[in-house]
Amino acid sequence: MIEKILLGHGSGGKLMHELLRDYFLPEFSITEALDAALLSEIPGRIALTTDSYVITPIFFPGGNIGELSVNGTVNDLSMMGATPLFLTAGFIIEEGFPLKDLKNILSSMSSAAKKAGVKIVAGDTKVVEKGKADGIFINTSGIGVIPDGVEIHPKKIKPGDVVIISGPVGTHGISIVSGRNGLSFDPPLLSDTKALNYLVDELIKASIEIHAMRDPTRGGLATTLKEIALQTDLCIEIEEDKIPVLSSVRGACEILGLDPLYSANEGIMVLFVSPGDAQRTVEILRKKGEDLSTIIGIVKEEPSGKVILKTKIGGTRLLEMLSGEQLPRIC
């Protein structure tokens, strides 16, 4: 019995067909091998996104590369207000990769897709020689449809908009790095990877006037806010003591010399909403289980393009984009 990926699994021939038949097709919404998936018409404006996942380790505290690759792409669509519909999945696998690990990853992708209400309809598998990749890399691309009337875009952000975070920051990044460094916590510190589309749905259903949303992944909350400040030529002012951080994340950050504001997140979003809807946004998010959701700041006219952090001790600090590489291969 074959227990590991062989180069022949990427040949396009018999072995690849067996791999698809036995591993991929049972987990995905693919019933026939065609060059492209045939979908029905999608009435409405389309959103399209892509992300490759190279996280190490492949199995990490709280998840694995499979569910991460589904949730991450679902979230990218959600952040534009789109309802995620269909995903593609492209695999680059290193020769010798254990088939049982592949099975676990595919099964996680399948569960994550079901949970998020999306279908994986097209796929591709390539195999490279031992030493030419690192286990498995996954690309997922996604299509979503933007409901009528939904207009979510950074250019809609206005002075006075309230900045809301849906959950604690830095959890994904710090959980991965803690794992890599052999730190353990009680209760264990797990990645926050999850699909955010149901939360966004709730807010849209409640007619919350969302101007923009982002999931602060690589580069963390600080980098994301700085990007938005630059895109909008506005100032974002946030308060350090409002930003939720799990105590285990805070502890690990102190040990590792890392900053939770620059650490990756995979299950939270930052929202810019009109002031009149801010309180209601937090209430809805909390009702849906996001207990730590809270208002963290406000948008101002000046100084343009800046992110100002009002620190706990009463000072202010300008937040810039992450420089260099804090945590390689975090997603």
- Of 230-259, binders to its own copies (CB under 8 A) are 231
E strand or H helix at 229: helix 220-232
E strand or H helix at 294: strand 294-300
Q: In 3-state terms, what secondary structure has residue 87?
A: strand
Q: What is the dihedral of CA 261, 264, 151, 45, to 10 degrees?
A: 170
Chain-centre distance of CA 307, in angstroms? Answer: 22
Is 20 a binding residue for its own copies by CB under 8 A? The answer is: no
Q: Which stretch binds its own copies (CB under 8 A): 81-89, 107-115, 176-184, 270-278?
A: 81-89
Question: In terms of CB distance, is 59 or 185 closer to its own copies?
Answer: 59
Distance CA 240, CA 211 (A): 23
Among 218, 270, 273, 278, binds its own copies (CB under 8 A): 218
Question: In terms of CB distance, is 223 or 248 closer to its own copies?
Answer: 223
Among 3, 31, 41, 314, binds its own copies (CB under 8 A): 41
Question: In terms of CB distance, is 20 or 185 closer to its own copies?
Answer: 20
Question: In terms of CB distance, is 127 or 282 closer to its own copies?
Answer: 127
Among 1, 31, 35, 149, binds its own copies (CB under 8 A): 35
Closest distance to its own copies from the beta carbon of 292 (Å): 22
State which of positions 123-182 bind its own copies (CB under 8 A). 123-124, 126-129, 131-134, 137, 139, 141-144, 146, 153-154
State which of positions 295-324 bind its own copies (CB under 8 A). 320-324
Question: In terms of CB distance, is 65 or 190 closer to its own copies?
Answer: 65
CA-based nearest residue to 164, from 84, 33, 28, 278:
278
Tell me the per-residue interface mask from 86 to 125 with its own copies, x by CB under 8 A, - otherwise.
Answer: x-xxxxx----------------------------xxxx-
Q: Which two tokens stand for residue 52?
A: 């490759």
Is 225 a binding residue for its own copies by CB under 8 A? The answer is: no
# residues contacting its own copies (CB under 8 A): 89
Three-state helix/strand/coil letters over 107-171: HHHHHHHHHHCCEEEEEEEEEECCCCCCCEEEEEEEEEEECCCCCCCHHHCCCCCEEEECCCCCH
Measured at the CA of 19, the angle between CA 33 and CA 54, to 5 degrees, comes to: 95
The residue assigned the tokens 């959890």 is: 171
Question: In terms of residues, how long is the chain?
Answer: 331
Closest distance to its own copies from the beta carbon of 328 (Å): 5
Closest distance to its own copies from the beta carbon of 188 (Å): 25
Strand arrangement of the beta sheet that strand 235-239 belongs to: 210-214, 270-273, 162-165, 294-300, 235-239, 307-310, 316-318
Q: Which stretch binds its own copies (CB under 8 A): 13-21, 160-168, 241-249, 299-307?
A: 13-21
Question: In terms of CB distance, is 226 or 295 closer to its own copies?
Answer: 226
Closest distance to its own copies from the beta carbon of 66 (Å): 16
Buried b (16+ CB within 10 A) or exposed e, 309-327: bbeeeeeeeebeebeeebb
State which of positions 51-80 bind its own copies (CB under 8 A). 51-54, 75-77, 79-80
Question: In terms of CB distance, is 168 or 220 closer to its own copies?
Answer: 220
Distance CA 54, CA 329 (A): 6
